[in-house]
Amino acid sequence: MLDWQPPQNLVAATEARRADITKALMEEQGLRVGSGPLAGMLLLADVCWGDGDMAPKLLGVYEAELHPAIARAIGRDPRTVINIGCAEGYYAVGMARLLPRARVFAFESDERGQDICRRAAAANQVGERVTVAGACDVALLRRTVPQNERPLLIVDCEGAELALLDSAQVDGLLRCDIIVECHDFIDPRITSALRERFEQSHDVENVIEGARDPNAFTSLRHWTSIDRWLAVNENRPVMMNWLVCWSR
């Protein structure tokens, strides 16, 4: 393991440049997602975590590894979507737009994030179908998972996924399609434990963080290499992975 931390002046310079890049993208293309399955969704300029990865979201490459899973989930036409760790509402609002018959329940521990998500839902004309609440726990999840249907769960809860996605306590999870970001750098047991829990009831895929090609965007070709890479960077602490679990 490379034991090195960038100096604070480099971190500050990178963050400042990224802010310039995000501002430039907003000025060039507005606040709508430019490509990918959520293309056309209107974002708000407000964020609650870091810089909200606004640049990759505007370009449409944010979590591009999940694009096939999102497309398949849409094809399965869930009537209930539960987004745990919704932040500003990228997936909660995006899925509400793509699934006009679905009800979306969005959970976010940060109050500013809750407010942004509600306003983003209203700005995209899906506010009446998106319910935003605070942090989700096992009891609340048990009450939210509906009976007699196959909901979709999209989970990014910063290491709490192992405690939360417990089918012994929430038996409705066995009926759910689940897309979960695994924070193994917080708890190295997460991916293996979740796979073991769901492999008997679900078809489980392990999706690994992949590459980005900033040169795919003609609008960025006049930018320097560093700026192009900063535009698609999601600033992850390690190489991440997701488990995508399709209920049988």
pLDDT at 1: 55
Query: What's the average pLDDT block by block, 10 residues per block, for the chain (248 residues)?
Result: 75 94 96 97 96 97 98 98 98 98 98 98 98 97 95 96 96 97 97 97 98 94 96 95 98
Residue at 196 is within a domain: yes
E-strand stretches of 128-171: 130-133, 152-155
User: The CATH number of the domain where 150 resides is what?
Assistant: 3.40.50.150
Residue at 106 is within a domain: yes
**Residue-number span of the structural domain to which 141 is assigned:** 63-222+238-247
| Among candidate residues 46, 30, 59, 62, the one with its CA nearest the CA of residue 216 | 59
Buried b (16+ CB within 10 A) or exposed e, 132-148: beeebeeebbeebbbee
Say how many domains are in the chain.
1
Residue at 197 is within a domain: yes
Residue at 24 is within a domain: no
Residue at 52 is within a domain: no
Residue at 165 is within a domain: yes
Sheet with 241-247: strands ordered across? 130-133, 103-107, 80-84, 152-155, 177-182, 241-247, 202-208
Residue at 232 is within a domain: no
